Amino acid sequence: MESLSRLIATQERALLAADEATRSLRTQLTALAVHAVGPAQAATDVEEITDPARVRALLDSVATMARQQIRVIQPSVVARRLIAEWPVGDAYEPGGVGVRTIHQSSLLHSEQAAGYLERLSRRGVHVRVAPLLPFRLILVDEAFALVCPPSTTLLIRRPALLQLLGRVFEFCWDDARELHAPSVPATRQEPTVPVVGGGGRDIVLSEQETVILRLWAKGRQDVEVARELRVSPRTLRRTVSALLRRLGVNSRFEAGVVAARSPRLLEGAGHPPIPA
């Protein structure tokens, strides 16, 4: 009986292993089918995806298709959930897939979102944050990218464009800051820029206040500023009111005069560039 039990246990393990291999193969085949290139796309290697189900299928395929690294800028809510499930390893080890993500620094003001970033970091995802980011991007090795400007999703396979997107990511990565900084809590980590206020006083602005002044200097309206910062118009109004009080001025025009006295502020030293 003991021999028979061992034989049955061995067969059960073999069946479980075969079932797991079958599921893995099915997942890979599904991912490959999602990325099948038809004649219409073969010429350009750029496809606009309008079907939400296809977008989700492409997002689901990322972890399966990646072989070395996944780079992400400003992931959507759906993508953020998926990142938490991706197998994370060392990109420099055989079979390892490194994951680097850049998130909007405004997330750090939400306890729930900050906790999510902490969990990603503990899983081995390399997380950085920045006040402004150009667009949503998921770049999988040099194989394909999902670019998400407003209201659409682009699937890109053309090598030259993938190299360009890789450079965009690295540029943003170099300008972003680490989630954790020595002796500074991640949820309150904000670089500052000194300016001379309306009363001649030296004032140290937060990162968000600095970005608002720079956007105003570029002629952005408050609706656009709120969209860039990923905050609600009401939140922006409260921030703007507090900013004007701190600067000792009564209008955005006067705030612009204050900003003009601080060339370093408008040059954006130490901060990511504002998209034109």
In CATH, 191-267 is 1.10.287.1080: no
Over residues 60-78, mean pLDDT: 89
What is the residue extent of each domain of the chain?
A: 41-178, 191-267
Query: Is residue 160 packed enough to be buried (19+ CB in 10 Å), middle (13-18) or exposed (0-12)?
Result: exposed
Q: Which H or E run contains 106? A: none
Q: Residue 101: its pLDDT value, please?
A: 95
Which whole number is the average pLDDT over 50-61? Answer: 89
Could you please state the CATH topology (level 3) that the domain comprising 41-178 is classified under: Endonuclease; Chain A (3.30.870)
How far is 259 from 256, CA to CA, in rounded Å?
Answer: 5
Q: Higher model confidence: residue 140 or residue 32?
A: 140
- Model confidence band, residue 30 (pLDDT cutoffs 50, 70, 90): very low
User: What's the longest Cα–Cα distance across the chain?
Assistant: 92
User: How much is the pLDDT for 241?
Assistant: 87
Position 211 scores a pLDDT of: 82
Q: What does the pLDDT look like over 90-131, one tens digit per residue?
A: 655 666 789 999 998 888 888 898 999 999 999 889 999 988
> Does residue 187 surpass a pLDDT of 90?
no
Query: In the predicted model, is pLDDT for residue 197 greater than 70?
Result: no
Tell whether the model's pLDDT for residue 189 goes beyond 50. no
CA-to-CA distance for 111 and 8, rounded, in angstroms?
51
Instruction: State the pLDDT at residue 185.
Output: 39
Residue 184 pLDDT class (50, 70, 90 cuts) = very low
Is residue 198 exposed (0-12), middle (13-18) or buried (19+ Cβ within 10 Å)?
Answer: middle
Q: Select from 271, 129, 173, 150 the least CA-distant residue to 213.
A: 271
Per-residue pLDDT, averaged over 12-29, amounts to 54
